[in-house]
Amino acid sequence: MLTPPQLRFVDCPSPPQAGHRPWGSADTEEGVRRMAYWDWAPLGQGRADHVVVCVHGLSRQGRDFDVLARALQPHARVVCPDVAGRGHSDWLADPMAYQLPTYGADMVALLAQLRAQGATTIDWVGTSMGGLIGMALAAQPGLGLRRLVLNDVGPAIEAAALLRIGTYLGLGERFASVQAGADHLQRISEGFGPHTAAEWLALSAPMLRQEGEAWRLHYDPALAVPFRALTEDAAQAAASQGEAALWQLFDHITQPTLLLRGADSDLLSAATAQAMTQRGPKVRLVEFPGVGHAPTLVRQGQVDVVADFLMASE
């Protein structure tokens, strides 16, 4: 029988330029903020020492992986963080600290906690931003990641996708109901591909938090601050400046790596995906037709590809 996840926390030292704004009412020690994670305990013969860490995209949160976690739960422990500023994790005082170095340091703290709890085998599944974090960690051999799944992301990010994301991020909308919020999320997330009404509501409900009689998105609106300054030229420059460093990271990855791509993705080009099959870990590439950025890992075909890859050498 499947069991629901437990909400847990790990302490993350605040970067020097950022403080913390607790999401809830609980106090934390000065200089320390908390990152939340959803902890799915293994079932039956599942190995508690085998942990699959699943990390979401830019404006999402850890419950995005509920369907995948249930599929993996009979085999391994599954841990799904809410990255800083999202879900139940603390917000940062400085919006410009919402960057990969902060996220990477937080995940190193999480990995250390998992190791202390008995994890000996750790795999990583990262969607979009979560994949970039995974690339940075996988390139560090001392962290001991075993396998890597990159969901619709690579070292080269298309500038048009950054501009598109900036048009809807952090607008502070209020909704009259969860369904109204889900309808809004569906309008701005066409790339996620086709879903039933029930699938979409299940994906959307954890993205919404009630405030009084209204509902709002479950992330810090200040996530948008780094994007608001992006003109088309600035987006092109940002993508170009980061590309060389990301390719260098990618080329240091030695773990078996699975790359998922929405065939209609505007963030990960077909050319970049093909290049990733030829260098670094020489990824195994699987594309999903009728999907853009990014596959949600809700449909059975998507779930099976990931589960088969991670459990192939248990």
Residues whose CB falls within 8 Å of the CB of residue 148, separated by 6 or more in sequence, listed in order: 123, 124, 126, 134, 135, 138, 253, 255, 256, 257, 258, 281
- Quick one: what percent of the chain has pLDDT higher than 70? 89
pLDDT at position 308: 97
Measured CA to CA, the distance from residue 306 to residue 314 in angstroms comes to: 14
Beta carbons of 12 and 31 less than 8 angstroms apart = no
pTM (whole model) above 0.85: yes
pLDDT digits (tens, 9 = 90+) for 91-136: 998 888 899 999 999 999 999 999 999 999 999 999 999 999 999 9
pLDDT digits (tens, 9 = 90+) for 54-90: 999 999 999 999 999 999 999 999 999 999 999 999 9
Measured CA to CA, the distance from residue 212 to residue 168 in angstroms comes to: 23
- Is the confidence at residue 45, as pLDDT, over 60? yes
Please give the backbone phi and psi of residue 95, each rounded to the nearest 5 degrees, phi first: -60, -30
Measured CA to CA, the distance from residue 107 to residue 35 in angstroms comes to: 9
Pairing label, strands 145-151, 32-40? unpaired
- Is the confidence at residue 239, as pLDDT, over 70? no
Give me the torsion for CA of 168, 21, 87, 242, rounded to 10°. Answer: 60
> Which CATH fold would you assign to the domain 6-157+241-311?
Rossmann fold (3.40.50)
**125 token code pair:** 């599944």
Average pLDDT, the chain: 90
Beta carbons of 98 and 92 less than 8 angstroms apart = yes
pLDDT digits (tens, 9 = 90+) for 143-192: 999 999 999 999 998 878 877 888 888 888 899 999 999 999 999 999 99
